[in-house]
Structures are given as C-alpha cells and as structure tokens.
Structure 1
C-alpha cells in the first residue's frame, strides 16, 4: 500500500479505474467517428474535427484520473478496450451515438460523485466537480444541439 493513501476507499479506487477505462473507450469511439467522417465517401471535415477533438478530450480526462489516482496513492489498472463501431450510417447516427456516449460517461461520473459522498471524501468530490461534471453537461448540450440541427437538414449521409 502507498504511504500517500489517506481517506481513500478501495471502492473509490476501483471506480476511478473503471472511469479511466470508460474515458479511454470513449476516446477510441470518437477516433473511429473521426476516421469515418474523414473518409472520402463521407467528407464531413467539420464533424471529423469535432470528433478528433473529442477523442483528445477523453484521453485527457483519462490522464487527469490517472494523475489523481496516483496522487491519492491508488494503483492504475488499465483494461483491454473493445473495438468501436467503424461504419456509422449517417452524420445523424454518429452524433446520436456520441450523445448517448456522453450521457453514459456523465452518468458514471455522477455515480462516482455519490461514491465520494458516501465515502466522506470531499477531496474527490471537488476534483470530480471541478474537472468533469460541468464539462459533461456542456458536451451533452452541444451534441443535443447538433442532433437538432441534423433533424432539420436530414440524415447527413
């Protein structure tokens, strides 16, 4: 056990490791979406840029969690990632999938926050709030707006 570990429950450590892996999986999904949007048969450079930036953002989230886990004396455990979908049917389909992904990540972060509360770990709650929660809500809003716009113009195939 690390000498840095204090008031850091094993359940929190395990859940943070799950979140790290979820963020890395989300990054892979976004990279897949970026590759799809960049393909010559799709050619949506604005969407490709958005998905590429989202992939980078998710990797940064994972790195922040890794840094935090190490700072608290935890141990990082990375798991194998699943191969993401690679052929999105349309821009709308890809953006709707991204919206669901962000909602899933947000739900997981909210569960982590509850765990921090139940483990009387205000440091973790503050970290989670300041680094992730507001950003997730903003991301969900952006993607919701994109879905709405695509509903007006069509599938975007």
Structure 2
C-alpha cells in the first residue's frame, strides 16, 4: 500500500513545489512593477556616469603604472587606491540602476594618457579630472531635479559630498608637492608616507 502511494506523494510534492515557485515569481514580478521606473533622461545620465567612473579608474591605474615605472611605489599605491575607489563608485551606480528597474548599458571606455611630466604634472591632471567629475555629478543632479526624481537626488547626495573630499585630498597633495618643487628628498619622504594608504570601500558604509 505504501509503495503504491509513493508515486502519488512524489507527484503531489512536485506539484506543490512548482506552485510555490510560480506564486513566488508572480509576487516578485508584482513587487518589481511597484518600483518606480527611472525616466529615460535619468537612466541615460546614470549610464553615462558609470562610464565616467570607469574611465576615472582607468586613468588612475595608468598613473599608478607611470609611478611604478619611476620607482615611486608610494605614489603608485595612492593611485591604485584611487583606481579601486572609482571602480566602487561605478558599481554603486550600477547597483542603483538595477534596483530602480533600469537597464545598464556599458559603452567603450575612452583611452587615457600614459606619459606624464613628473609628480606635479600627474597631480595637476588629477585635480583637473576631479573637477570635471564634480561638474558631471552636478549636471547629473540637475537632470534628476528636472525629472522630479527624488530617489536619484537622494542617492546622488553621497557623490556630491564625496567629490568635495576628493578635490580636497588632491589639492592638499598638490600643495605639498609644490612646496618641495616636486623633487628631492621631500618627494621620497612623501612617497614613503603614501605607501600606507589602504582602500576602504566607503560606498558600503551607507
């Protein structure tokens, strides 16, 4: 008797599992549909910023390679941490777009310079680049405001604050380099100090 019931019980169990999976998928789809979709203008701007953050990472890794070639491992380490930070920024936006039921479209990353004229030149270009990124973040915020997308505005406040810190850090380093004319023992002392910089993923702290 038990043996004859086994196929029926197995069929019943499989049917229950299939029904549970079906209702779960229906629930998931309804929940997803309740999420406010990103407007096309905002989505396009966010995708553009993902590309910009990846480009920043590529630039800083190029600068790190330059410093390694110059025997300045501390400066190379500082730039490698910058590279890691920019990657985390791009992933933060990537995840946000997906959470908002948007589609991430990855475009080709533009080429970056590989040769520089000393440490001061590198950090002048770094500051110039960070100022450009700040401008892009501000423009992205403007797009979100125009679209009345309050969720994206709230999300972007983190990047606005981050850029203030980014520019301040680069400015401080550049000022120190200019004080020592970007050469001599001062550079080697600063190089030793920068070896201690560690990557901390601040995007996960929120």
Under a length normalisation based on structure 1, what TM-score does the superposition of the two structures give? 0.91
Report the 3-state secondary structure (helix = DSSP H, G, I; strand = E; otherwise coil) of the residue aligned with 1:73. coil
Give structure 2 stretches of 5+ with no counterpart: 1-31, 185-206
2:172 match? 145
1:4·1:72 contact (CA, 8 Å) conserved in 2? no
Give structure 1 stretches of 5+ with no counterpart: none
- Displaced runs of 4+ in structure 1, greater than 3 A? 2-5
Instruction: Measure how far apart 1:86 and its partner are.
Output: 0.8
Per-residue CA deviation, residues 36-63 of structure 1 (Å, 9 max, x unaligned), is 1111xx1222211110000010011100
Q: Aligned partners of 1:4, 1:33: CA distance in 2, in Å?
A: 44
Which stretch of the first structure deviates more once superposed, 146-155 or 86-95?
146-155
2:113 match? 85
Q: Aligned partners of 2:48, 2:59: CA distance in 1, in Å?
A: 16
Matched, 1:52 2:80: yes
1:127-146 correspondence runs (5 A):
127-130=155-158, 132-146=159-173
1:108 match? 136
2:68 to 38, 60, 64: 38
Under a length normalisation based on structure 2, what TM-score does the superposition of the two structures give? 0.70
2:37·2:101 contact (CA, 8 Å) conserved in 1? no
> RMSD in angstroms over aligned alpha carbons?
1.6
1:91·1:155 contact (CA, 8 Å) conserved in 2? yes
Q: Aligned partners of 1:55, 1:138: CA distance in 2, in Å?
A: 16
Report the 3-state secondary structure (helix = DSSP H, G, I; strand = E; otherwise coil) of the residue aligned with 1:3. helix
Report the 3-state secondary structure (helix = DSSP H, G, I; strand = E; otherwise coil) of the residue aligned with 2:33. coil
Instruction: Measure how far apart 1:83 and its partner are.
Output: 2.1
Per-residue CA deviation, residues 100-122 of structure 1 (Å, 9 max, x unaligned), is 11111111111111111111111
